[in-house]
Structure 1
Amino acid sequence: LCRAELASCCDAVQNFVVSQNNTPVGTNMTYEVESKKRIPIGETIFNMLPISQPFVEYPYNQCAVVGNGGILNKSLCGAEIDKSDFVFRCNLPPTTGNISKDVGSKTNLVTVNPSIITGKYGNLKKKKEFLEDIAAYGDAFLLLPAFSYRANTGASFKVYYALKESKARQKVIFFHPEYLKHLALFWRTKGVTAYRLSTGLMITSVAVALCENVKLYGFWPFSKTVEDTPVSHHYYDNKLPKQGFHEMPKEYGQILQLHMKGILKLQFSECETA
């Protein structure tokens, strides 16, 4: 049910990424959140866009959506994640070194929150460090919400140009603001009324549309496991999110329902290792 509903409301296959096909020159694009603000699409922005949706092998058979929850620590899920046909990750998480046995190292698409660009990389003044960090993701797509808020556009474009100038292997793509708007409305009908959906729920929605089988790892919004063991917020730190921005328990309730309906699988425990 949900898969068909998602396709009819939001059509990720055609619309999830801004492309030359869905955004011709002359489009006056409305921002996702600041809906009174617009950005005209001239030749310069148009040339930054892929011609069409870049996911050529759609539908993918087995996809992994790797959240950043502390539940991944000691999970030994890395090998299973790396066997997937397409791996989604959120917000430039670490995947190299010892941690890869728990979280895997394969990445096909990773989201980038512009606040990471402005904060951690000083608005790309630390460009060398940024390029070194993203080298870990091979030839993954870097997905940025350039058109969610006007404040995101500059940082997102900086990432595009930094990669282009350095001839990096990764490609920059942008979330389509209309897609995100429709997606938020869709989840609102299911009771998720937060100011903004979390990246995890956005990417899960995209994965359900692009993949036959979806498995979620590292999605656990609680501070303890089922066995009452404490869990850090992220597998790499314990920095808590801003209050009031996302509705994690409500979102998680929706993801659990998708799990119970068999639309996706949630991995709660250690992975079986051969």
Structure 2
Amino acid sequence: MMTGIGLQRRLWLCFLGVSFLPVIYIIFLSLELTMPWRMVDLNLAQFPGIGYTREPNRFHDSEDPLVDKTLSDGSDGQHTRTTPPTPLSLKVQSTSPARVRSSTEPGARTTKGPDLKGALLTKSPKPTEPPFIGDSYYSEDAPPRTDCPDGIRSRVPQTDFGVRYLDRIPVLQWAKHATPEQYQRLRLYPGTHGWANLDYNTLVSTLSVLNTSANWHMFDDWERRSNGSQCVRCAVVGNGGILKESKKGRDIDRHDYVFRTNGAVIKGFEQDVGSRTSLYTFSTNTLRNSMKNYAGAGYRGPPFSEETRYVFLPDHDRDYLLMKAAATHTPVERGPERSKTPPSYFGGNVTVEKFKMYHPDFIRYIRNRFLRAHAMQTKYKDIYRPSTGAVMLLAAVHTCDQVSAYGFMTPDYMNYSDHYYDSQYHPVGFFINHDLRMEMTLWQQLHHAGLITLYMRQ
């Protein structure tokens, strides 16, 4: 009898054990599924690691100013076009975002250039932010170039832009930035936002050429031309059709510096757009496409003058290769611009002091804090960037004391052709890799905040 009872108990215990196996398996599976996300959160909390100073979360997303979520812009004139508001159908094979490593990332080293110290300015990404955003930047402690009593830097803290504006962000990159530590940090980001598409040897050999004071100062000749002025006054000229018959040429040329970009046709349009070019912004791709697409309007290449400086917006290694070849008067080593003779885009007598190059941190910073478009939440996030004109205008906002913007898109843009030199009306083109509507809204906001003076017909 006892033996039968003992057997029953054993059978009952076995039954209970077998019954609990599914429960144990479900618990184990749940732990296994949640563990990777906890690890990612931990890595993001640690990003970017030792050597970075931390700041409060100063960035906040502004309300989407667009009527719809169409990805847009056509300022560069070379990308696949979309027709809003039809659904996106562009097929692009984009690379995967850079993975955040679990190990700590090397911090920035103090640079030893004149009047320049290095540190890193960061904001810890929110857990919901994808790692590719990279809202951490190199910071340069450089003294102001002027003593302007009412410059942009003194006014921006009193505006809504004070929470996102970094007055120590490096606008330009130069020889001292080409270090192993900085390469490891910036190789996480593709395209113009970092060095993921650039090998270390090309980086060093190119940036080592930019080793004069003229290469790391936007206004390298200000001391010679200031004429006692306390403020750097800049005219930033886009190519928009709003400038046609504007008669703004004289006003533009009165500024201390005149910025232009891409297919800036000047001859024959001086009365509307002026004749001077102090700083010309472009990428190798936009330059080549402008020479092809706007040749009929008279565009033959970058403007030549004694005062003109050439500011590369590096999208790929081809920009570094072209800049090095042009500055050293040697052939382009490889890539689409490979040549047997030195490039002639900038004239045969151009010197290295004429060249500058935007820093990837600056491009990523204005994307993250000023132009965080809907495209960053889509599969097109790796090709989205601010338009070349937007980079130029925001670079002026970060370097000039006073900024007047001409030829940029305004809410009545449909009343004007795409470019001021168009012989017939062409509507503004919209493309997947920029967001012109968001940029248009930003120009309005900067204008109403008193940080720029935007030319508008209405």
Q: Is TM-score (shorter-chain normalized) higher than 0.5? A: yes
Matches within 5 A, 1:29-178: 30=187, 33-34=190-191, 36-41=196-201, 44-52=205-213, 53-54=216-217, 55-56=219-220, 57=222, 60-96=231-267, 98-119=268-289, 133-146=301-314, 148-160=315-327, 161=329, 162=343, 166-168=348-350, 171-178=354-361
Equivalent residue number for residue 210 of structure 1: 399
Equivalent residue number for residue 172 of structure 2: 17
**Amino acid across the alignment from 1:255:** W
- Determine what percentage of the aligned residue pairs are the same residue: 23
Give the deviation of 1:259 after TM superposition.
0.6
Alpha carbons of 1:50 and 1:83: their partners in 2 closer, same or farther (altered >3 Å)? Answer: farther
- Structure 1: which 5+ runs fail to align? 123-128
* Cα pair 2:174 2:208 within 8 Å, conserved: no
User: Greater shift after overlay, 173-182 or 59-68?
Assistant: 59-68
Alpha carbons of 1:27 and 1:37: their partners in 2 closer, same or farther (altered >3 Å)? Answer: same
**Amino acid across the alignment from 1:139:** E
* Cα pair 1:118 1:155 within 8 Å, conserved: no
**Amino acid across the alignment from 2:445:** Q
CA distance in 2, matches of 1:200, 1:166: 27
SS in 2 for 1:234: coil
Give the deviation of 1:80 after TM superposition.
0.4
Give the deviation of 1:99 after TM superposition.
0.3
Which whole-Å deviations, capped at 9, do the CAs of 1:97-125 have from their partners, x for residues lacking one?
x3011001111101123224444558xxx
SS in 1 for 2:177: coil
Please tell me the root mean square deviation across aligned C-alpha atoms, in Å.
Answer: 3.3
TM-score normalised to structure 2 length = 0.48
- Asked which structure has the greater RCO (Cα within 8 Å, sep 6+), the reply is 1
SS in 2 for 1:207: helix
CA distance in 2, matches of 1:94, 1:155: 22
**Equivalent in 449, 453, 458 of residue 261 of structure 1:** 449
**Amino acid across the alignment from 1:40:** Y
Alpha carbons of 1:221 and 1:196: their partners in 2 closer, same or farther (altered >3 Å)? Answer: farther
Alpha carbons of 1:211 and 1:5: their partners in 2 closer, same or farther (altered >3 Å)? Answer: farther
Give the deviation of 1:50 after TM superposition.
3.8
Number of residue pairs aligned between Structure 1 and Structure 2 = 252
CA distance in 2, matches of 1:185, 1:11: 16
**Amino acid across the alignment from 1:192:** A
Alpha carbons of 1:233 and 1:159: their partners in 2 closer, same or farther (altered >3 Å)? Answer: farther
Alpha carbons of 1:21 and 1:153: their partners in 2 closer, same or farther (altered >3 Å)? Answer: closer
